[in-house]
Chain A
């Protein structure tokens, strides 16, 4: 097999099937992965959730993951936020001519590993090859279907006064990682992306506490943007304790140097959860014993003092507003 992807690999002929069988089938094989025009699947009972997401992260390989892992985590976490057990995924690749085959292999391997971790099956795929310069490296789109757990109903509109606001770990590491990988700033720091699939942790929570009000993954725009969305959709305010927001000191340092607000840096393995106050302790206990959420923490409460806004209680006891989300901080983080 050639050591780079060529236009012939996308032409639909022999080389295409060779690419599919050697790279994709080798990693994605399961009883539903299909060579037919569509995969045939058992229908789940109850409600399903469905979502799709495109991934164009640059660079495609970063500290803590690669675009393949990210493309599974992104869609798995979107389903997770609706309380849906991820069942089936499809993936569509657009690959630049000349892309190294061994890197494609690594991407597929990361997808396999991440999908297996949460028990989701990759059931169909598509491969297109674009001419040199027409795409940058590899772009992946994943689509996912999940089965919503019985008795679970989450929505950005369900936050109620008195609820606690949690994050499932320290924030902003994915955004900071990508920022440093691009090397535009000449800053070196030991930061690893938080990129992780969160279904298993959330499943553990929802099995015991089904009435979590809101679950959102804090991807583009970070935790700050998610909190503003919740404030608007639920017509409430969010009052944050600035001192309680967990930020890795290295991330804080990078933000300090570049004048960035960690609350607006992207995460790829962190959730914001809004939980009825009397359930908070239980939820935290479960999260603390689950993978990727050991650092979960209450960062604030749902209030009604300034509806639609996020209020910060600062370290000196003052209150101020978190600025509204602004322009995109950094393109191509996911």
Chain B
């Protein structure tokens, strides 16, 4: 489950040692944007040491640097990191080489790709098909900057990127993770944005503020109405099976396989939560 993935600055020991306390489904130790260029080695050693000495009960992810990708991957390959987040994913050959390099050192490590450019969106289908890729994430700030667009609360400028990335992920059967909500103090805006991307079909959302985690989780939790509907769907199926009835309906609407699958997913999520 990847409802929330929280970025943690990779050269800040206080944040790193507390990273697991915020309840996020995954923590992303950031070796890239959150670290000064002259401290890359220090951050790499700090994150690797934390992975060796501290326990985290959530998914452990590390955003590496594209510029120092081989050094980062080499260091992380001998740790218990679960997933690497490769930023600025656009060139299929370049990303494919890095994934292959990682797999040769440690084939257990999963890959997430951060798509944050128009070229990355165009190549998303090929990127998603690379080995070990388990999710694509949208990075809207760099994307809109390169598009020459202005970020807005409504997000019309990233609608195409969201829709394209989402369609690619669903076709490839991997997770689709949305861009972070960057206004730390606007919880109403965060909830509106998260409800929107949940309705579109996204599996989770990146987060840059620990205070956003609870709100994101509450958005992804099934509502009471959704749970009641799902329970009624399953009950209707069982009743039809008992009667050997071929046609199943609920409230005048026919229940077919996709509806049943959606109902089961809602109930499974309720059980996990």
A binds B: no
**What residues of chain A have their CB less than 8 Å away from a CB belonging to chain B?**
none
**What residues of chain B have their CB less than 8 Å away from a CB belonging to chain A?**
none
